[in-house]
Amino acid sequence: MIKLIVGLGNPGQEYNKTRHNAGFLFLDQLQNELVKAESWSYEAKFQGRVLTTFIDTDKLILLQPQTFMNRSGLSVAAIARFYRLECEQILVVHDELDLSIGAIRLKKGGGHAGHNGLKDIISCLGSKEFYRLRIGISRPKPGIKVANYVLSKLGKKESELVDLAILQGISQIKKIMAGDFSSVMNVLNQKQ
């Protein structure tokens, strides 16, 4: 059962709507769709923006680390320790270069594939065994540096595709929270 959803991104207005902030975009939309009236608060002990809510009768904590991407693990580990969460109770939502733009996939565990946010979370938690909801942003064209690409803004069409992927993911949140992962994977991982 998922008790904490972490959306990865970089804090600051200049990073708003960039590819690397897909996790932030997901949580903002989740708040709009399911949580509505509640608002975020900055929690210094977690170095992040936190929203604690209920989906139906299940308590859910949302976290947007404010540590910058490459230090996301500090925030995630702090909140996981405070609430005594197991890695299997954590879902991390992040951008994924190895998925086409607008694809969304759920998986458990695995490596970091060069994603600095995941790399730091794995290091700080001491485990890879958390769930990941990966939002496809595609790879950059040859000659474009990955770092520049992920920190650039989504184009209009790309933004529409990412928004659709986010809505697909949100439509499965109750099943994800309940631990019905195979059912969610059958839906999300089959979509083209």
Scored b (16 or more CB within 10 A) or e, 17-45 reads ebbbbbbbbbbbbbbeebbeeeebeebee
* pLDDT above 80 for 191: no
Active-site annotation, residues: 20
CATH number at residue 174: 3.40.50.1470
Question: What does the pLDDT read at residue 189?
Answer: 84
Encoding tokens for residue 157? 């069409």
* Tally of domains in the chain: 1
Residues 101/91, Cβ–Cβ less than 8 Å: no
* pLDDT above 90 for 152: yes
Mean pLDDT of 162-190: 93
Q: What distance in Å separates the CA atoms of residue 185 and residue 180, rounded to the nearest whole number?
A: 9
Q: Is 113 left (phi over 0), alpha (psi -120 to 50) or beta?
A: left
**169: containing domain:** 4-188
* pLDDT above 70 for 140: yes
Question: What does the pLDDT read at residue 137?
Answer: 95
How far from chain centre, in Å, is Cα 141?
Answer: 24
- Which range of 2-6, 16-20, 112-116 scores highest in mean pLDDT? It is 2-6
Q: What distance in Å separates the CA atoms of residue 8 and residue 142, rounded to the nearest whole number?
A: 26
177, HSE (Cβ side, Cα atoms, 13 Å) = 19
Mean pLDDT across the chain: 94
Q: What distance in Å separates the CA atoms of residue 11 and residue 153, rounded to the nearest whole number?
A: 14
Q: What is the pLDDT of residues 104-124, one digit of tens each?
A: 999 999 988 889 999 999 999
Residues 48/121, Cβ–Cβ less than 8 Å: no
* pLDDT above 80 for 161: yes
Residues 161/104, Cβ–Cβ less than 8 Å: no
Mean pLDDT of 17-41: 90
Encoding tokens for residue 75? 């925030």
Encoding tokens for residue 41? 């608060």
* pLDDT above 80 for 103: yes
Mean pLDDT of 147-176: 95
User: Measuring CA to CA, which residue among 41, 94, 42 is closest to residue 67?
Assistant: 42
Question: What does the pLDDT read at residue 153?
Answer: 95
Mean pLDDT of 15-27: 95
The answer to which of 69-73, 159-163, 186-190 has the lowest mean pLDDT is: 186-190
Question: What does the pLDDT read at residue 37?
Answer: 66
Q: What distance in Å separates the CA atoms of residue 15 and residue 99, rounded to the nearest whole number?
A: 21
% of the chain at pLDDT higher than 70: 98
- What is this structure's pTM? 0.95
